[in-house]
Chain A
Amino acid sequence: MSLLRNVASGLRSLFRKEQVDRELDEELRGYQEMAAEEKIKDGMSRKEALRAVRLERGNLEVTKDTVRSGGWESVAHTSWQDLRFGLRMLRKSPGFTAVALLTLAIGIGANTAIFSVVYGVLLEPLPFRDASGLVLLNETTPRVGKVSVSYPNFLDWRSQSTTFSQMAAVCEAGFNLAGVSRPESIGGEAVSANFLSILGMRPFLGRDFEASEDKAGAAPVVLLSYALWQSHLGADPSAIGRTIMLDGTGYTIIGVLPPNFRWTGQADVLEPIGTWLGKNPDAMKRGDRGDMPVLGRLAPASRFAQARSEMEGIAARLSKEYPASNDQFGVALTPLRDAFVGDTRMAILSLFGAVLCVLLIACANVANLLLVRGAGRTREIALRLAFGATRKRIIRQMLTESLVLAVLGGVLGVALAFAGTQAITQLMPPGLFMGAKVNLNPAVLAFAGILIVLAAFVFGLAPAARSTKPDMQRHLKEGSAGTGTSTAESRLRASFIVAELALSLILLAGAGLMIKSLHLLLSVSPGFQVDRVLTMEMDLRTAQYNKDDAIRNFWQNVLDRVRTLPGAQSAALGTEIPLTDSHSRIDITIEGMPLPKPGSFPHPDTHAVSDGYASTLGVPLVRGRTFTETDNENGSRVAIVNAMLAREYFPNGDAVGKRFIFGHPDPDKAPQWLTIVGVLGDTRMYGLAQPARLEVYVPFRQAPKSHMNLLVKSAVDPAAMTSAIRAQIASIDKDEPIFAITTMSQLVSDSVTTRRFTLILLGLFSGLALILAAIGIYGVISYSVAQRTRDIGIRMALGASRTDVLRDVLALGARLTGVGLLLGLIGALAATRVLSSLLFGVRYTDALTFTAASLVLLVVSLFASYLPARRAMRVDPIVALRYE
C-alpha cells in the first residue's frame, strides 16, 4: 500500500513537476517568512531577520535541492536529463555517431543472428516431458560404428534392462500416399505403441496407439503430423476416423500429433511397429538391421553412466549368445538432446565464438572513438568537476551516453539480425537442424538486450573513468582545448588496438583453415563424375509389385522409356547411390578364404544396379567388364567388386573370375555362388571426408529391389529433363510417387553443407573483423599524427627528412601490429583447436594458414597506418608551428 503511494507520489513529482516544485517553493518560503517574522517581533529589521534565518537555517535553494533529491524520482529525473543530454551530444557529432552506430549494429546484429541459431539448436528445450531422461540407443560395430538395432535385440534389451523404465523402437518407414493429385512419398516412423508416452506427449487430436494395435495383423492405424494434417487434410477435425491410402492400404487416422512434435528424422506418419513388421517380416531376423534406433527413458533412480554399463553388459551377453548375428556388436547411448543437435554443435559454437570476437572488436573501436571524443570534452568535464559534480555523477552521465549509443546501435543490429536469420535459414538445407526453429524469439531478443547493456559497459566504462581522472584538471589551467593526451590514455588506446588485431588474427586463421579444408575436400575425387547427372528415387510398395517379375518389368520399362528421351545420354538404376546416406551392407564369404569369426567377415556395401550404371555415374572400370542386358534372371549369377575389395581380398591375383556368396557358409544349403566379372573404382559413399569402403555390385534383374534410384546423364541441364521423365514414368504407373529429385553435383554440394556454412559465416565475420581493426588502427594513428603535428613540424624544421617522419609513424603502426600479431597467434593456436572436427586434410596448427593470415593482417594494418603517415610526411613546418 505505502509502496504504491510512494510510487504514485514519485510519479506526480515527475510528471507534474512544476506544480510540485511550486508547492515546495511556497512551503519553504512560508517557513522562511515565519522564522523571519519571529525575529522581526524581537526587534530586527526585515533584512537582518532574513539574513539571520539564512544563517541559522541554511540557504533556501540548497534545502529545496535536498528535499527534491530525497525521492526515487530524482534518480529517474537526472537519468532522463542525462539521456536527453546524451542524445544531444550524439546529434552534435553525426560523423562519430554514424560510425559508432554502424559498428555496434554490425557487432550486435551478428551476435543476435548467430545466437538465434545457438538457441534454436542447442538451448531451446525439446518439447518433451523431462527430456534429460531420454536416451537414444544404437548398436555399434567396430567395422562401421553406430548402426541400427535389430528388432529381436531391442526386445531383449527391453526385457533385460532395469535402468530404463521404458523403451520404444523407432523405425524409419516411408509411405506412398495415393489418391491425391500427385502421388507422394511421405517420411514416417514405425514406432512401439508407447513412443509418445515415453516422450510425454499426447496427440493434439484423437488418441494415442493402444497396445492391441501394435501387433502384426491388427487393423492398420496411423497418427499424422500436424503439418501433414494441415497440408493434406485441410486441418479438418473430422479427419479423425477417416481412412488414408498409404502403400495401397487403407489406414484409419486415429489422431494428429501436436504442432511442436519433432523427431530426428521425417515423421509425418506414425504407424505401430507391430503392423509394420507384419509387412516387413525380414526385420524380425536378429541379423537384420534397418534404420531403427531405440528410444529409452531412464528409470527415475538411474543415471546415464549406470544405464550405459548395464546396456554394455546386456550387449556382451547377447553377442556371446548369438555370435552369428551379434559377434562384436556393442551398444551406444546418446542423450536425445545430442541426437537432435547432430554434428553441428562445434560449428555453431565456433561461429558464436567468432561473432563474440567481432563484437569485442566493435566495442574496442567505439571505446577508441569515445576516448578521442572525450579528449575534446576534457574542459567541459574539468569545469563540471570544479563546480562540484562528483566523479560518480559524471561517470554515470557518460555511461548513460554509452547506453544511448548501445541501444540505438542494438536496435539497428536487431533489424540486421532479422535479415540475418532469414539468410541463415535460406543457407541451411532444411533437414540439418532437425526441426529446430531459428528466429528472433523472446529469448533471442532478451539476449540482444543483455548484450546491449554489456556492450555499453565494455566500451563505455574505460573512456568514462578516463575522462574524470584528476590529472585532467590541469586542462583547466591550460588554455588550449585538450591537445595534450596523457601517456596513460594513449596506452589505453594502443591496448584496444592490440586486442582488436589479436582477435582479428584469430578469426582470420580460423577462416583460413576452413577455406583450406573445404578446398582440399572439394578436390577429393569422389570416384564418380557429378556433371549433368540427375537422380530421383522411387519405392514400389503397392501389392501389385510384390512379385519379382513385376518389379523387373517396371524398372526395365522405366529404363527403356527414359533412354529414348531426347537429351538423355544414358540412364541407369541403382539401389544405393553415393552421398545419400542410404546403404545396405551384408557379410560375404569368398571361395577358399579361411573362415574368420562371425563379426570379422568382409562386410561390403552392396548395390543392385542396371547395365550402364558405371558409365552413367562415371565410375571407372578397372578390370573385366560391366554388366550387360544379358546379366538377367536367366543368366549365371555375376557380381562386380570395387578396387578396394579386390586389393584387400585378392592381393596376389585377379579378382575377376573368383567366386563368393552372400552371408556365411551354411552346411544345410547349396552355396549360391556369384562370379566376379569386373572391378570398378572406389566411390566415396558416405561423404568426401570419409574413406572409401568395400563395395559389391550385382545386376538388378538378378536381385530385384522395389526401392531404387534412377540416374540420368543428360546432354543438357539435367533439371530440365525432370518433367519429361515424370511423364514417362506416369505413363507406366501414375500412382507411384517420384521423390528426392536432385543432381549428383547438388548431392556433393549438400554433403559439405555444414563446412560451407561455417566457412561462409566465418569468412564474413573475419572480413568484418579485419575492416573494423583497420578502421581502428587508422583512427589511432591519425589521431596520434594530428596531436603530434607540432612536434613533427619542429622536427622537420630542425632538419628531419620526410622519410624519417614516415618511418616514425609507420613504426608506431608496426609496433602495435607486431604485438597484436604475437598475441593473436597465441590466441589462434588455442582457439582453432575447436575447429578440429570441421577440418579436413589440415591440422589446426597449420603453419601456412597462420602465416597467410598474419600477412593479410600485416598488410592491411600497415596500409591503414600508411594513410595517416603520408599526411604526417606532408606537414609544412611553418604552418604546423603557426597553427598552435
Chain B
Amino acid sequence: MGDKSSDVVQGTLDMLVLKTLALEPMHGYGITVRIEQMSKGVFHVNPGSLFLAIQRLDRDGLIKGEWKASENNRRAKYYALTEKGRKRLNNETREWGRQAAAIARILEAS
C-alpha cells in the first residue's frame, strides 16, 4: 500500500485479483472472466497487465500458484490466496473503502 499510491490502476488490479482469489483458487483466464463479469463489463483486463500483476503478487508471497487439471481436463496454473494475501486484501479493502468514501464526499459536496 502507501508507497504505490501514485500507481492507482496497478494497485487496483492487484486488489481485484486478490478479491477474486478470495472466493476460490482460479487460473488466469478465470480471473479475467470473473473480474469482467463482476464489473459488469466496465473493466477490460488485458492479459499483459494481468500476468504482470500475478507475477508481482506471487513474488510478494500474497498468492501461490499450482498446476492442476482444469474443468475440461486441461492443465492450468491455479492461484490461491496465502494467509499474507488474505491480510493484505482485508487491509486494502478497508483502506479502499475509506478513500472511496472520502472521494465520494468531496465530489458530492456542492
Co-complex (A, B): yes
Contact of A67 among B55, B59, B72 (CB under 8 A): B55
Contact of A6 among B27, B32, B46, B59 (CB under 8 A): B59
A34's nearest neighbour on chain B, judged by CB, is B29
A62's nearest neighbour on chain B, judged by CB, is B48
Interface: B47 (CB within 8 A): yes
Interface: A230 (CB within 8 A): no
A33's nearest neighbour on chain B, judged by CB, is B74
A30 touches B29 (CB 8 A): yes
A35 touches B29 (CB 8 A): yes
Residues of B in contact (CB 8 Å), total: 23
Most A CB contacts (10 A, CB to CB) among B32, B46, B48, B74 go to: B48
B60 touches A27 (CB 8 A): no
- The verdict on A70 contacting B77 (CB below 8 Å), with A30-B29, A57-B47, A58-B46 known, is no
A37 to B47, CA, bound (A): 17
Contact of A34 among B52, B56, B74 (CB under 8 A): B74
A33 to B76, CA, bound (A): 11
A30 touches B48 (CB 8 A): no
Contact of B60 among A6, A34, A67 (CB under 8 A): A6
A10's nearest neighbour on chain B, judged by CB, is B59
Interface: B40 (CB within 8 A): no
B residues in contact with A5, CB < 8 Å:
59-61
A residues in contact with B32, CB < 8 Å:
31
- A75 → chain B closest CB, angstroms: 15
- A495 → chain B closest CB, angstroms: 42
Interface: A216 (CB within 8 A): no
B59 touches A31 (CB 8 A): no
A residues in contact with B43, CB < 8 Å:
none
- B17 → chain A closest CB, angstroms: 14
- The verdict on A30 contacting B59 (CB below 8 Å), with A58-B46, A58-B47, A63-B51 known, is no
Interface: B92 (CB within 8 A): no
B52 touches A66 (CB 8 A): yes
- B18 → chain A closest CB, angstroms: 15
A24 to B55, CA, bound (A): 10
What is the 8 Å Cβ interface bit string for chain A, positions 22-65, against chain B (1 contact, 0 not)?
A: 01101110110111010000000000000000000110001100
- B48 → chain A closest CB, angstroms: 4
- A791 → chain B closest CB, angstroms: 53
What is the 8 Å Cβ interface bit string for chain A, positions 1-34, against chain B (1 contact, 0 not)?
A: 1100110011000000000000110111011011
B58's nearest neighbour on chain A, judged by CB, is A9
Most A CB contacts (10 A, CB to CB) among B27, B28, B29, B70 go to: B29
B residues in contact with A67, CB < 8 Å:
48, 51-52, 55
Interface: B75 (CB within 8 A): yes
Residues of A in contact (CB 8 Å), total: 25
Interface: A71 (CB within 8 A): yes
What is the 8 Å Cβ interface bit string for chain B, positions 14-41, against chain A (1 contact, 0 not)?
A: 0000000000000111101000000000
- A29 → chain B closest CB, angstroms: 10
Within 8 A of B (CB), among A412-437: none
B residues in contact with A26, CB < 8 Å:
75
A33 to B75, CA, bound (A): 11
What is the 8 Å Cβ interface bit string for chain A, positions 91-119, against chain B (1 contact, 0 not)?
A: 00000000000000000000000000000
- A402 → chain B closest CB, angstroms: 32
B residues in contact with A27, CB < 8 Å:
27-28, 51, 76-77
A63 touches B55 (CB 8 A): no
Within 8 A of A (CB), among B63-79: 70, 72, 74-77
- B56 → chain A closest CB, angstroms: 7
A57 to B49, CA, bound (A): 11
A residues in contact with B52, CB < 8 Å:
66-67, 70
B72 touches A1 (CB 8 A): no
A residues in contact with B46, CB < 8 Å:
57-58, 63
B56's nearest neighbour on chain A, judged by CB, is A70
B residues in contact with A37, CB < 8 Å:
72
A532 to B46, CA, bound (A): 94
A85 to B77, CA, bound (A): 36
- Contacts A62-B48, A63-B51 known; list 14 others, CB within 8 Å: A2-B61, A30-B27, A30-B70, A30-B77, A34-B30, A57-B47, A58-B46, A58-B48, A63-B47, A66-B52, A67-B51, A67-B52, A70-B52, A70-B55
Q: Which residues of A contact B (CB under 8 A)?
A: 1-2, 5-6, 9-10, 23-24, 26-28, 30-31, 33-35, 37, 57-58, 62-63, 66-67, 70-71
What are the nearest 9 A-B pairs in CB distance?
A: A66-B48, A34-B29, A67-B51, A70-B52, A6-B59, A63-B48, A31-B29, A2-B60, A63-B47
A-B contact pairs, 27 of them (CB 8 A): A1-B61, A2-B59, A2-B60, A5-B59, A5-B60, A6-B60, A10-B59, A26-B75, A27-B28, A27-B51, A28-B28, A28-B47, A30-B27, A30-B28, A30-B70, A30-B74, A31-B29, A34-B74, A34-B76, A57-B47, A62-B48, A63-B47, A66-B48, A67-B48, A67-B51, A71-B55, A71-B59
